[in-house]
A and B are shown apart, each in its own frame.
Chain A
Amino acid sequence: MKNRLKKVGIVLFLVVVAIQFYQPVLNQNPDQDYTNDFIITTNAPSNISKLIKTSCYDCHSNNTDYLWYDYLQPVRMFVEKHITDGKKELNFNEFGSYSNRKQQSKLEAIGKQIKSDEMPLTSYTLLHRDAIINEVQKQELITWINSIKQNSLSEK
């Protein structure tokens, strides 16, 4: 029995080592063009831009600040999945290229997600403590988002 456990342990270890070789392309683009970037196109004040960059850009832009354990499998797969999903939903680097209607919808959705604490994800803030948005910051953010939003939902 003991022998068998040992064997299983060795196999598991080997598998963990083996999957380390699976490293998908990193979400890093040093040559990123920022002309369509959210912060640039909306002319965000510095406190807001810092907040959004720390709390959102890891998954919602073309550049992720990876931490050392992000390179380890299977964490890596988990992280990449989140980034792919996040960028599909909203890519701040491409915000300016969205149609006006889509931009308005996105602003609406961003405000709602922050207000209801759905974003940033708990699984993300668990390890990225600096990404947590406190109540004061939350109000700042929401007020700012509302200020740049055209009052579009009430019928013209």
Chain B
Amino acid sequence: MKKAIILITIVATLIACNKSTKSEKIESTSYENKSSNNHDHQLFACSMHPEITGKKGEKCSKCGMELTEPVAHSKLDKNSEEPSLNNTKAKVGVLGADTSVTPLDYVNDIVICYLNLKNKLVKDDSEGAAEKGKILLASFNRLDTKTLDANQKKAYIDIAEDAKEQAEHIAENAGKLDHQREHFILLSKDINDLIKMFGSKMQLYQDYCPMANDGKGAIWISETKEIKNPFYGSKMLTCGSLKKTL
């Protein structure tokens, strides 16, 4: 009996060792799943009673008809003057199923996620940066390339292919701030090109740090005019200069 127990334990451990590689893979793709889950948050209204809303498939409490009309949500930051960076998560959950969302809305969403990530790096918060990296990655996956014309699509895929990888690295390297910052250099360049291509809804600044990237210099994008260096954080917070206004 004891023998059997030992045997089972050993076999189980070995199987577990093997499985662990698989489960890691699942984790890495789960960001993508999350973004598609956003469709679940889409609200539907009754075609007779627009004030009654609920999930798809639910019935109207007044007439019993199925809720079929997708509820249009207000687009990002249309009315607010100041971009409220902290609310991204709530807002991005609404995108996806909304057909009136333009590519610029998606890009704006990506930019906001990037800025959130940048602000974590400014604060030397590696864990926070990793988490924001994950959200940024999801924001890239959310952009529906069908809304882009052929030229935009090509340029976007080129940028996104690289930027997603940088975001993924930042997400996976919590605790290794230096490593995250190396990827942030490349990411910033991608975001800069993305903004160059699609424009931006908010006032942005391109800042330059001559010391970053082993003295080769690197740019970052900021929403504030004031210099707050994400490549060095508290070590050299005000190092850098405003290069241009985007």
Contact = CB atoms under 8 A, between A and B. Distances in A.
A100 B14 contact: no
A155 B161 contact: no
B17 A108 contact: no
B199 to A, nearest CB: 18
B11 A108 contact: no
Interface stretch (A6-14, A32-40, A56-64): A6-14
B87 interface: no
Contact of B182 (A22, A112, A155): A112
Interface string A1-44: 00010011001101100110010000000000000000000000
A99 B206 contact: no
B162 A154 contact: no
Interface residues of A, number: 27
B227 interface: no
A15 B158 contact: no
B216 A154 contact: yes
Contact of B11 (A15, A84, A153, A154): A15
Contacts of B206: 155
A105 B11 CA distance: 42
B17 A155 contact: no
Interface string A98-130: 111110010011001000000000000000000
A152 interface: yes
For chain B, what secondary structure do more than half of its interface residues adopt (helix, strand, loop), or is it mixed? helix
Contacts of B21: 77, 81, 84
Interface in B190-224: 190, 192, 206, 208, 213, 216-219
Interface string B130-168: 000000000000000000000000000111011001100
Centre residue among A12, A81, A154 by max chain B CB count within 10 A: A154
Contacts of A12: 10
Contact of B17 (A11, A77, A154): A77
A130 to B, nearest CB: 27
Interface residues on B, range: 20 to 34
B161 A101 contact: yes
A8 B6 contact: yes
A154 B217 contact: yes
Interface in B93-110: none
Contact of A99 (B162, B166, B192): B162
Contacts of B218: 153
Contacts of B14: 15, 19, 74
B186 interface: yes
Interface string A72-111: 0010010001001000000000000011111001001100
Contacts of A81: 21
B186 A105 contact: yes
Nearest to B192: A155
A81 B24 CA distance: 11
B208 A11 contact: no
Nearest to B20: A81
Contacts of B185: 153
B181 to A, nearest CB: 11
